[in-house]
């Protein structure tokens, strides 16, 4: 007899709408607070968005990121990122690293004197170190990166909403869009509140959150559509509760196993990836919450087509939801 791990009983009957006004009100409050926090405190932009200088180092000795960072601490350079560069074409005595220094407030770039001080400090740690290249990112390029990042998030939201609209109905698309905007806003609000470094890797984490959150939402929506065809007289609220309960085991198992790996990375992964991992970890928690308590509440308030077994030529995307067409 095979052993099956069950974190959630097979037949749960949780009333997820019992506190719907409290949960949705809390989500609204957190979203508004996040907007206020972003307007008042702003984001702690990293080098990618603030501009700065990247110094490429090369040495015959192995790269010691900890020693490099300790040598640069007395210089009070602010945001400094040190990463080792791996390439299969490098020889055994070719150890390469990148030192990225953020521009100071009020300055457009890192001064040559600062670059010289950094090079001197690193040469004290490793006399054999050389500096093949020094590249600067100006405020204009940083501004373009911010603009492109915003466009990427907006385009992702739009594409996901269109997919949900075609796959289900416009009410589902609105619910999914509200849920995704909720996830992004609150995640960015947390970054603003605690002034966690916000860079291109955080944008990648936000896009990952969008994909993860909509995946869970689609699972619930798909089960709801099946139940709408099966129970044509059951109230919509009861069908939504039933759908979430039927997919609850899958939601808990997927989110739980993902969080186990992410928490390990968050604790043991080091400072370089901590912001990225924190964004995904928090995003998965808030995304799971929004799939259960935000998206379906919006759909309930908007109302949906009840008899999905009959095509509705007036409804957008019906050709994709007709069981005979799939």
**Residue 102: CATH number of its domain:** 3.30.70.2040
Each residue's pLDDT tens digit, 294-325: 888 888 888 876 655 555 555 444 444 443 43
pLDDT above 90 covers a percentage of the chain that reads 9
Are residue 74 and residue 61 in the same domain, yes or no?
A: yes
Question: By residue range, what is the domain housing residue 61?
Answer: 52-137
Residue 12 in any domain: the answer is no
CATH number at residue 313: 1.20.1640.10
CA dist., res. 252 & res. 173, Å (int): 24
Residues 201 and 297 in one domain: yes
Asked whether residue 253 falls in the same domain as residue 147, the answer is: yes
User: Which of 115, 137, 159 corresponds to the end of one domain?
Assistant: 137
131 phi/psi in degrees, rounded to 5: -130, 90
Residues 30 and 64 in one domain: no
Please indicate, yes or no, if residue 3 is contained in any of the structural domains.
no
235 in any annotated domain: yes
Residue 309: what pLDDT?
53
* Nearest residue to 55 (alpha-carbon basis) of 121, 123, 118: 118
Looking at the fold, whether 125 and 181 belong to one and the same domain comes out as no
Burial class from Cβ neighbours inside 10 Å (0-12, 13-18, 19+) for residue 310 reads: exposed
Q: Mean pLDDT in each 10-residue stretch from start to end of the chain (326 residues)?
A: 58 79 88 93 79 84 86 82 78 83 67 85 88 74 76 87 84 88 92 86 86 85 85 84 85 87 84 82 90 85 67 47 41
Judge if 133 and 272 occupy the same domain: no
Residue 206 lies in a domain: yes
- Residue 71 shares a structural domain with residue 84: yes
Residue 106: predicted pLDDT:
56
User: How large is the C-alpha radius of gyration of the chain?
Assistant: 25
- What is the structure's pLDDT at 316? 45
Pair (212, 250) in one structural domain: yes
Establish if 2 belongs to a structural domain. no
Q: Are residues 173 and 132 in the same domain?
A: no
Query: In total, how many domains does the chain have?
Result: 2
Please classify residue 127 by burial: count the beta carbons closer than 10 Å to its beta carbon, then call 0-12 exposed, 13-18 middle and 19+ buried: exposed
Is 58 in the same domain as 26?
A: no
Whether 111 and 239 map to the same domain: the answer is no
Report the pLDDT value the prediction gives residue 312, as an integer from 0 to 100. 53
Residues 289 and 157 in one domain: yes
Q: Say how many Å lie between the first and final Cα of the chain, rounded.
A: 36
Of 200, 81, 105, the residue nearest 144 (C-alpha): 200
């Amino acid at each position: 007899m095979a052993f099956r791990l069950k974190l959630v009983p097979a037949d749960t009957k949780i009333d997820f709408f019992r506190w719907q006004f409290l949960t949705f009100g809390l989500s609204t409050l957190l979203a508004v607070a996040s907007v206020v926090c972003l307007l008042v405190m702003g984001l702690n932009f990293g080098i990618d968005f603030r501009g700065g200088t990247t110094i490429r180092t090369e040495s015959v000795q192995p790269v010691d990121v900890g020693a490099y960072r300790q040598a640069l601490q007395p210089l009070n350079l602010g945001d400094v990122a040190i990463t080792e560069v791996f390439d299969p074409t490098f020889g055994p005595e070719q150890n390469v690293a990148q030192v990225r220094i953020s521009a100071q407030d009020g300055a457009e770039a890192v001064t040559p004197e600062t670059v010289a001080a950094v090079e001197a400090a690193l040469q004290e740690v490793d006399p054999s170190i050389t500096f093949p290249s020094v590249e600067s990112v100006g405020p204009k390029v940083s501004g373009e990166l911010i603009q492109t990042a915003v466009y990427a998030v907006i385009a992702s939201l739009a594409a996901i909403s269109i997919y949900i609209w075609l796959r289900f109905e416009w009410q589902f698309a609105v619910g999914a869009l509200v849920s995704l905007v909720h996830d992004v806003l609150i995640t960015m609000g947390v970054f603003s509140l605690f002034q966690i470094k916000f860079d291109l890797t955080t944008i990648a984490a936000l896009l990952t959150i969008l994909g993860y959150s909509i995946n869970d939402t689609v699972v619930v929506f798909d089960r709801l559509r099946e139940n709408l065809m099966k129970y044509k007289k059951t109230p919509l609220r009861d069908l939504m509760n039933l759908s979430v309960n039927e997919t609850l085991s899958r939601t808990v198992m997927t989110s739980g196993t993902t969080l186990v790996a992410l928490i390990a990375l968050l604790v043991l992964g080091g400072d370089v990836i901590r912001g990225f991992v924190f964004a995904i970890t928090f995003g998965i928690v808030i995304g799971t919450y929004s799939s259960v308590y935000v998206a379906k509440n919006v759909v309930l308030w908007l109302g949906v087509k009840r008899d999905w077994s009959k095509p509705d030529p007036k409804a957008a995307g019906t050709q994709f939801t007709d069981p005979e067409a799939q």
